Amino acid sequence: MKVEIKGVEFCNKGAELMLYAIIRALTSHVQGCEIVLAPGYLLPYERRAKLGAWQKFSFRFLGIDWTWLGNVLPSPVRQQLRHFGIVAERDIDVVLDASGFAYGDKWGANNFKQTLKQLKRIKKRKVPYIFLPQAFGPFKNEIKNKLMRNIVSHSTFVIARDPVSLAHLKALKARQGDNKITLFPDFTPLVDSRYIEVPISLPDNLVSIIPNYKVFSHQDEQRYDKYIQFLVDTITCIRSFGLTPILLNHEGERDHQICLDVSAMLQEKPLILSELNALEVKKVIASSLFCVSSRFHGCVSSLSQGIPALATSWNHKYEELFDYYECSDFIIDIDTSISTTYDLVAHLIEERETIAEGLHVRAKAHRASVEMMWTEVLEHVKR
């Protein structure tokens, strides 16, 4: 069985973590399962090869998706392509979409269109297309609303990651829609970091600071300056308690640049960790006293391992996650005064054990819910 995994990559550590989570579930429960990944600069050949992944015959040129060409190749030609590790779309048995947050008014319509085209092609062969837990919506744009209605209608199973996303999907009123839409939380907590070794000696009393350029993207320069100052103030505040803040890059060059800009404003330069893989990043988070994260999966990796976290939110998915873990008071705005930040940090330190205990209880329920999700998903995969 060949399973295509969409929406994952190696640059964004959350997307990489979702890839590992899917592979873990498939190899544990589906005998003889082989994964397929489409080529791309965020999925370089060397990294795909280490996973033993087949390469999907998929490419775009002059703004046109030519993937369908692989489907019209004669069988002997497709067999020859397999010698090069390439499989055509028509040889794929299941598609799992783990895009995280790619379907909503915030994004362009092109991704909607490409997904719908693929759905229409594979539905002719009755190939399941399953949206794993992710954030959706809103769909107020008329064009995207119509596209998403068709996407839901043609899909096999659509899983919203939070109640707000679920409401956005239900509001579409897609033909053949409601019966295939359901709710489950993020599925990365089952990826275990306990036995992962980090290739660097970590300091004691560690606090991880995880930036995200999306906090200020598409906004004015003043918002950027405000965010940098917020991170500088937060680091200064954490140091005043005798703790050691580090800057942990959870994505790529843009987040790394934030780390450099923050460091440049501090006399005492913090440690910057920027070349770790997703499992190593999760291990660093597990080794922290607490985290200050602007990345969603940085927050998930923190809370689901019983590590308290403060989060800066730029999308409903943060509020929904912290509501799920019953710690919504730990959502913090970058306009927050340094005195308020100080009080929150002091509270985290003083009540850390009690907070962590509550997080572990919620994390256990979270993992159980993910196991239930995979039971339902794998029923569709194994058909």
Cα–Cα dist 2/33, whole Å:
6
Task: Give residue 85's pLDDT band: very low, low, confident or very high (50, 70, 90).
Answer: confident
More confidently predicted of 31 and 97: 97
3-state secondary structure labels for all residues of 43-94: ECHHHHHHCCCEEECCCEECCEECHHHHHHCCHHHHHHHHCCCEECHHHCCE
Query: Three-class SS of residue 17?
Result: helix
The pLDDT tens digits of the residues spanning 33-82 come to 999 999 888 999 999 999 999 999 887 766 667 776 666 677 888 888 88
| Contact in structure between 128 and 94 (CB atoms under 8 Å) | yes
pLDDT category of residue 218 using cuts at 50, 70 and 90: low
Rounded distance between C-alpha atoms, residue 283 and residue 302, angstroms: 10
**Of the candidates 157, 124, 56, 137, the residue with the CA atom closest to the CA atom of residue 373:** 157
117 has a pLDDT exceeding 70: yes
- Domain boundaries along the sequence of the chain: 2-188+366-381, 206-365
Q: Tell me what the mean pLDDT of segment 151-174 comes to.
A: 94
Q: What value does the mean pLDDT take over residues 80-89? A: 86
pLDDT per residue as tens digits for the range 91-113: 999 999 999 999 999 899 999 99
Task: Say how far apart CA 27 and CA 22 lie, in whole Å.
Answer: 9
Give the Å distances, CA to CA, from 368 to 92, 185, 195. 30, 10, 21
Same fold, 2-188+366-381 and 206-365: yes
Q: What is the mean pLDDT of the chain?
A: 93
- 192-205 average pLDDT score: 94
Mean pLDDT of 139-158: 96
Q: Give the pLDDT of residue 162.
A: 96
199 has a pLDDT exceeding 80: yes
| The domain defined by 2-188+366-381 carries CATH number 3.40.50.2000 | yes
Residue range 228-263, pLDDT digits in tens: 999 999 999 999 999 999 999 999 899 999 999 999
CB atoms within 10 A of CB 252: 16
Q: What percent of the chain has pLDDT above 90?
A: 80
Q: What is the pLDDT of residue 135?
A: 96
Give the integer Cα–Cα distance in Å for 23 and 50.
Answer: 13
| Percent of the chain scoring above 70 in pLDDT | 96
Q: Is the peptide bond before 138 cis (omega within 30 degrees of 0)?
A: yes
Q: For residue 293, give both structure tokens.
A: 């994260």
181, 25, 12: which is closest to 99 by C-alpha?
A: 12
Pairing of strands 290-293, 54-56: unpaired
Could you read off the pLDDT of 270-317 as tens digits, one per residue? 999 999 999 999 999 999 999 999 999 999 999 999 999 999 988 889
Report the predicted TM-score, pTM, of the whole model to 2 decimal places: 0.93
Task: Tell me the HSE value of 92 on the side-chain side, using a 13 A CA sphere.
Answer: 34
Task: Quote the CA–CA distance of 60 and 31 in Å, as a whole number.
Answer: 33
Rounded mean pLDDT of 127-141? 96
The superfamily CATH assigns to domain 206-365 is Glycogen Phosphorylase B; (3.40.50.2000)
